[in-house]
């Protein structure tokens, strides 16, 4: 008989590619992870992982088991949801990881909505970028991720996750008031090819949006200054340190003295925001109201 908790460990190893990283994500010791993998291999009668200088990879037998693991774990999530519904499950804590603007845009309004519509549900919120929040869901560190689509992100049909689209927003060009394009109604990105740029660090999903937009305009942005805090990005632009692309919602309530904000000419770069939960958990009586509240907040 295969133990489900060992399947969870197998998936974590496949996701993180090293025993040490998987152990850290699961709050286990590396030796405990190795022991559970060995036990799983004994249960199945197959070698499931191969260790090398660059980490761990699954064997063909391991890949077969992993494909069933995603279905098994999703079904267990559904079983937990139905049991929680059977016992009414009207009270409890749901942990949500979201990037900062997403917290302001949808998570905080969802907290207020739930206080009125489902007072027994308490949200615990953690600030985390989209590339960090999705692994946190898979590793069961949080229940819900509010994340941004980015290159390399799990696709919407990923068997491990269930996606709920929330909203999409454009990026606007932010240039110093003395910039040559400050008086333009719209800013063609190609005209900024020779400017110094300010933007998020690589790994931040917004970094991918900015770089891809510039590549589509025919150039690679010369990123001279980096910050994941858009207030810092705007402050640097106001000091004439460079130009930037900033999500429209991040500019709300911000001191824009010294900069001009203009829409991008043509098709504006866009970030698409979604909520994600472990597949099978979307019907849980604690999680479903949270997803509904996030969706309602996004619509308003």
**∠94-95-99 over CA atoms, to 5°?**
140
Residue 233: the pLDDT is: 96
At 95, is the pLDDT very low, low, confident or very high (cuts 50, 70, 90)?
A: very high
pLDDT tops 70 at residue 83: yes
**pTM for the whole thing?**
0.71
SS3 51: strand
Residue 89: the pLDDT is: 60
Q: Provide mean pLDDT across the span 211-234.
A: 94
Q: What is the pLDDT of residues 9-63, one digit of tens each?
A: 888 888 888 888 888 888 889 888 888 888 888 888 888 888 877 788 888 988 8
Neighbours of 104 (CB within 10 A): 15
Q: What is the pLDDT of residues 268-299, one digit of tens each?
A: 899 899 999 999 999 888 999 999 999 999 99
Q: Provide mean pLDDT across the span 133-143.
A: 93
Q: What contacts 227, CB < 8 A, 6 or more positions away?
A: 198, 200, 201, 233, 236
- Compute the distance between CA of residue 191 and CA of residue 14 in angstroms, rounded to an integer: 44
Contact 175, 202 (CB under 8 A): no
- Compute the distance between CA of residue 283 and CA of residue 6 in angstroms, rounded to an integer: 24
Residue 46: the pLDDT is: 87
Provide the pairing of β-strand 144-148 with 270-278: antiparallel
Domains and CATH numbers, the chain: 4-83 (1.10.10.10), 90-167+272-299 (3.40.190.10), 168-271 (3.40.190.10)
Residue 87: the pLDDT is: 67
Q: What is the pLDDT of residues 146-193, one digit of tens each?
A: 999 877 788 888 999 999 999 999 999 999 999 999 999 999 999 999
pLDDT tops 90 at residue 67: no
Q: What is the pLDDT of residues 123-135, one digit of tens each?
A: 999 999 877 899 9
pLDDT tops 90 at residue 74: no
């Amino acid at each position: 008989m295969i133990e489900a908790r060992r399947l969870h460990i197998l998936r974590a190893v496949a996701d993180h590619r090293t025993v040490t990283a998987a152990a850290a994500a699961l709050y286990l010791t590396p030796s405990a992870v190795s022991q559970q993998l060995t036990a799983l291999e004994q249960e199945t009668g197959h070698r499931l992982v191969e260790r090398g200088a660059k980490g761990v990879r699954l064997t063909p037998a391991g890949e077969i088991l992993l494909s069933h693991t995603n279905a098994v774990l999703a079904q267990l999530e559904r079983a937990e949801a139905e049991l929680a519904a059977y016992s009414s499950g009207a009270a409890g804590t749901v942990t949500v990881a979201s990037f900062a603007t997403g917290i302001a845009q949808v998570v905080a309004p969802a907290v207020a909505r739930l206080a009125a519509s489902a007072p027994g549900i308490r949200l615990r919120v953690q600030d985390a970028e989209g590339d960090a929040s999705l692994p946190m869901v898979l590793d069961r560190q949080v229940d819900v991720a509010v994340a941004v689509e980015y290159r390399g992100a799990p696709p919407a049909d990923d068997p491990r996750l269930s996606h709920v689209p929330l909203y999409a927003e454009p990026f606007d060009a932010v240039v110093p008031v003395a910039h040559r394009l400050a008086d333009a109604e719209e800013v063609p990105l190609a005209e900024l090819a020779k400017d110094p740029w300010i933007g998020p660090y690589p790994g931040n999903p917004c970094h991918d949006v900015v770089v891809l937009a510039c590549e589509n305009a025919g150039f690679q942005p010369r990123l001279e200054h980096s910050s994941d805090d858009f207030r810092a990005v705007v402050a640097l632009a106001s000091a004439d340190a460079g130009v930037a692309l900033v999500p429209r919602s991040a500019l709300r309530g911000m001191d824009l003295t010294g900069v001009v904000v203009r829409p991008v000419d043509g098709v504006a770069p866009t970030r698409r925001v979604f909520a994600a939960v472990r597949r099978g958990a979307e019907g849980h009586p604690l999680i479903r109201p949270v997803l509904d509240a996030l969706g309602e907040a996004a619509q308003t």
